[in-house]
Chain A
């Protein structure tokens, strides 16, 4: 074809600079000191929780009444609790339980919330009904859900899980609907329709893929919030019941010895603080890293 003005690569004066490196999200995260630290902390914590059964020096449930309430350093690295159980072990297993609980709640909540959000964005007729339903859910605080559920099914992890999942659904639905509506207005969606593409393919390959950044950021931030809420529910005695090792329950457990053995309560609380902080900072870092406008 004779096209005298075609931009052949040879003719382009910028050809030498045409090879552009697309910095990965991880590399961008590491460039920012705060998010780099947060990422490392999160990875370490998750690894510690995963390998708790192998890392822990003792059995998390076997008490030793001869060594109760030892201070940190006194024969035990972080001391012992009121039953004489090693705090290192308890913390590792507590972290494992807390993270698992939050993970399940976030997966269920964000999964269902995501479906509702996409449905509301793609089928405007459903939008009014679905989003008003979400508003109703949103009007109840998560604590209230927890209280109501424990009144029905009794205190325990199930009640906390369900409460946290339900509390996450409307938030996720709103985030996803907002992101999807923006993407659906783009010309490339219309181009896909003009090609004769089906709804399922458009939703997965075009809409979902372009909504991933906000979803990713929301899930990370929500994970931190869910950990805090779950620990809170356990702390007030609605969630994990003793002797289960769970950070909130452990913090609650140590209240009785707060004046002469503060580490029993303070250490799990500190760990909660670190986990939540790490996830929040990571979430903020991800928001910047995934936003192309922040990258240049």
Chain B
């Protein structure tokens, strides 16, 4: 098998919790990421989805080596970079860049766009002033901005435009992997589509790999080649996107998919939802971490923690009963309600008439 571009091997990040002002002692640890293994091939998009607080963003920062893992190994292009210092990491920084969620916080408000985009090249000593300026223009063009935007400041742009600037900055060093930490969650739905399409175009053009962190399932379905579902710091299911959306085998994945809104008024009240809250990552439940909220939990789930195991081609799930739980029934996926169907047909008829009237008038 070929060497993956980025490989996380049983990575953990535990934040110690202290108590006492004078006699400080560790009373526990927040297990933000608790044994996650992932592989991303060159040019591939791996999406990580999960609820707020499940450790997605911590995982992104671990992959970028912005924070130190408590345990486990991180390999980039086959090389172990887990214990590299700052100077050793510098070449890695050129290969791996990041796009943040909040476009209002991710750009230095005191720097013009030109400086923001030239900064990565300056830090890595690439090119001279003229070639950097040319590259800035090129980057602006790549993300759909105009060259006269270069001497504006971030506060003069809209959220979507700022996110484009953030993407341009990530592209400046021609990286091979971009970690996208919820890149569209803070944007309007109409702008989301633009940015997601931009990311896809850039991937096709430069062969980028994405580690795509998100909680928007629709966006992930559109973007991802493979999806990993996280719950309480662990991956509970991973599969190619198509398989995951069609046949989710972990109860949590099924619950996530069921929670996505379905645009069908006839299905308004018929969807089962997940009750309860995510347990504290300081004291995760014994056995399967999901058993407190799982509708299929049995005695075994409370005692024995299930590991990820293969249940199909490239399909892994961490559930004792992955094969036996009922298949996921998509709500609203079937035939539309007949009254809705009639109403939509009526709209369609009216629209066709209007278009016909317009063309004759012209």
Contacts and interface: CB of A to CB of B under 8 A. Distances in A.
Contact of B144 (A3, A188, A193, A201): A3
A273 to B, nearest CB: 37
Contacts of B98: 190-191, 194
B124 A196 contact: yes
B106 to A, nearest CB: 4
A236 interface: no
Contact of A187 (B105, B143, B160): B105
Interface residues of B, number: 48
A8 B164 CA distance: 12
A210 B197 CA distance: 33
B277 interface: no
B194 A7 contact: yes
A2 interface: yes
Contacts of B105: 186-188
A9 B148 contact: yes
Interface string B84-106: 00100110011011101110011
A195 B146 contact: no
Interface residues of A, number: 28
B218 interface: no
A3 B194 CA distance: 9
B167 to A, nearest CB: 12
Contacts of B110: 209-210
A206 interface: yes
A22 interface: yes
Contacts of A193: 66
A43 interface: no
B352 interface: no
Chain B interface SS verdict (over half): helix
Contacts, number: 88
Contacts of B120: 195
A195 B144 contact: no
A66 interface: no
A206 B119 CA distance: 11
A7 B142 CA distance: 11
A187 B106 contact: yes
A9 B147 CA distance: 10
A174 B144 CA distance: 43
B108 A188 contact: yes
B197 A1 contact: no
Nearest to A14: B158
Contacts of A16: none
B278 interface: no
Contact of B193 (A5, A188, A191, A292): A5
B93 to A, nearest CB: 4
Contacts of A201: 123
A153 interface: no
B107 interface: yes
B142 A1 contact: yes
A195 B119 contact: yes
Contacts of A192: 108, 119
Of B90, B110, B156, B169, the most chain A CB neighbours within 10 A belong to B110
A24 interface: no
B323 interface: no
A194 B107 contact: no
A198 B90 CA distance: 10
Nearest to B109: A210
Contacts of B108: 188, 192, 205-206, 209-210
Contact of B106 (A9, A20, A188, A206): A188
Interface in A243-296: 292
Interface of B: 61, 64, 66, 86, 89-90, 93-94, 96-98, 100-102, 105-111, 119-120, 123-124, 141-146, 148-149, 153, 155-156, 160-161, 164, 166, 169, 173, 193-194, 197-198, 201, 205
Given A1-B142, A7-B164, A194-B98, 4 more contacts: A6-B143, A194-B64, A194-B96, A210-B109
Closest A-B pairs by Cβ, 7 of them: A6-B144, A196-B93, A187-B106, A187-B100, A187-B105, A209-B110, A5-B194
